[in-house]
Amino acid sequence: MNRSFDIDLDYGSYTVLRAKPDSLYEIGHKVAPYLIENLIDIVEEIEALNVCHSQNIRNYVVEMLTRKSFSITDPVDNHRLEVGSTYIFDDFQTIFFFFGQVSRIGIVASDLAAGFPLSTIILFDAKIIIHLSDSFWGLGERHFKSLADHGDGTIYERSADCDICLVTGDPNFAHHAWNELSSLQEIANQGFDRTTSLVVVHEPLGPVNDILGSQFHVLRKLAKAQTPEVNRLGVLAFSSTGTRIDRCLAEKITIFANAHLSPFAAEVKRQAQERPGRTLWISVRTRNRTISAQKDVLAKLIRDYLRHGDDRMVVIDGHSLPFDHDSDAHYIQDINNNIAHDDMIEADHIVAAVKAALPDARIVQFVGRRIHESIAVGRHASLYFCHHGTVQHKLGWFSDVPGLVHCNRDILEILPAHWVQQQSEVAALPTYLPIDLIAEAVQDHEMGELQNHLHHNNYHIEKLDEISNILLNFSKQVE
């Protein structure tokens, strides 16, 4: 008979501790003395399970795919415990449950962008939560509330013959490629796709199997809010993510994208191919972390670029719609359509400002096209001038197109260029504008905790003539 146990869903009743793996003794006075030595053993086991078996698959994932479990040592009686059940949340964070003779334990995989390392230990009987990292994206009160809201306070042990089910589909195409497809590709390369089911939430770049040439058994597509329904399928469900786009994955995404271009996108691609060294890709952004007086800034840069060379073309990009936009939930469609609409209006104003001075300017408005089309067409640009973030990644992570990036001072101070390049094997090193040319803008709204964490504050560009010269000199290097 399969076992079960009830979770106390009152997060406030737990003692929540944070300790680096090498400093567990610092919290020794807050846990039972007999536990601390054994907890150190568990942490060492977790560190070994977190080691990458290949570039984008951790050891614990291989264990789950191979034998439907990984093991830890019970800190109370030192017995070896195997995974008995899982629970996956709508952020794809997963609790792996262990049913001991005297202990009920959870090991949590959290933080999609970090490759979902095992990073939290839950001792349900002692009511202690130990975080082994400082990740903003770790297990928290909202996850316990989600368990309560879905009536999932009782955890049932899965049957020995249950299936393994991977959950994938971050709505952000960059995370989907960088983290999810990178791992799924390696899982398929090792043959696990033929024995593993897949639940898909979003496919912003296209169907996973079509892109990867894989054979995952796709059980269903769910809206993100429906993710907890996976826990009722009687499977062991979790998410596997990696941290680097390799050349092979970039090529697969590009091949799929090129095969699914609209006539308009195909024509823009042809025009860019006909102008080697003479096509500037430039982004607009109207939501957050963007330039104040964006229209005036970008219109001047475009005018100067077009005036200083023959037969030049500019493509204005902005928010793009996902491949599966038409099958997304209506509220998600509305969000994406509204963002794209605002970016289109901004782009139209920029085009009008440029053409008032240069009526024959070759400017293509590419805002609101599908994401895969921006990737396929953008790789034929000669250079880009983009906001930091996903609008840059459409070119920067799937091609070696060089470019200039602008952002607020908070981002510039962490010197992000090398980090951005290192996330993709095919990326060129981006050049960020000098920090002394950037000033903070007055925010027109109060930012929340998440926005502050992501540095969403807007900014003002100073010495515009100097920035124009930087762009012109950069363009001469690629022409």
CA-to-CA distance for 394 and 378, rounded, in angstroms? 7
If we measure between CA atoms, which residue out of 66, 119, 63 comes closest to residue 95?
Answer: 119
Burial of 285 (0-12, 13-18, 19+ CB in 10 A): buried
**Architecture of the domain defined by 260-478:** 3-Layer(aba) Sandwich (3.40)
Residue 448 pLDDT more than 80?
no
Residue 454 pLDDT more than 60?
no
pLDDT band (50, 70, 90) for residue 289: confident
Contact 52, 186 (CB under 8 A): no
Torsion angle in degrees (nearest 10) through CA of 30, 33, 36, 37: 170
The widest CA-to-CA distance across the chain, in whole angstroms, is 80
Would you kindly state where each structural domain of the chain is located, as residue ranges?
4-142, 260-478
Residue 443 pLDDT more than 80?
no
If we measure between CA atoms, which residue out of 368, 377, 328, 374 comes closest to residue 203?
Answer: 328
Question: What would the DSSP string read from start to end of 287-302?
Answer: SSS-BTTHHHHHHHHH
- Mean pLDDT for all residues in the chain: 92
pLDDT of res. 408: 94
Contact 147, 94 (CB under 8 A): no
Q: How many CA atoms lie within 13 A of 52 on its CB side?
A: 16
Contact 446, 268 (CB under 8 A): no
Judged by DSSP in three states, 436 sits in: helix
Contact 426, 247 (CB under 8 A): yes
| pLDDT digits 0-9 by tens, 48-72 | 999 999 999 999 999 999 999 999 9
Contact 35, 62 (CB under 8 A): no
| pLDDT digits 0-9 by tens, 96-119 | 999 998 889 999 999 999 999 999
Strands 71-73 and 57-58: unpaired
| pLDDT digits 0-9 by tens, 120-148 | 999 999 899 999 998 888 999 999 999 99
Contact 407, 289 (CB under 8 A): yes
3-state secondary structure 239-263: CCCCCCECHHHHHHHHHHHHCCCCH
Residue 21 pLDDT more than 90?
no
Amino acid at 177: A
CA-to-CA distance for 214 and 187, rounded, in angstroms? 9
Contact 318, 344 (CB under 8 A): yes
What residues form DSSP beta bridges with 321? 370
Residue 453 pLDDT more than 60?
no
Amino acid at 25: Y
Q: Measured in whole angstroms, how far is the alpha carbon of residue 24 from the centre of its chain?
A: 30
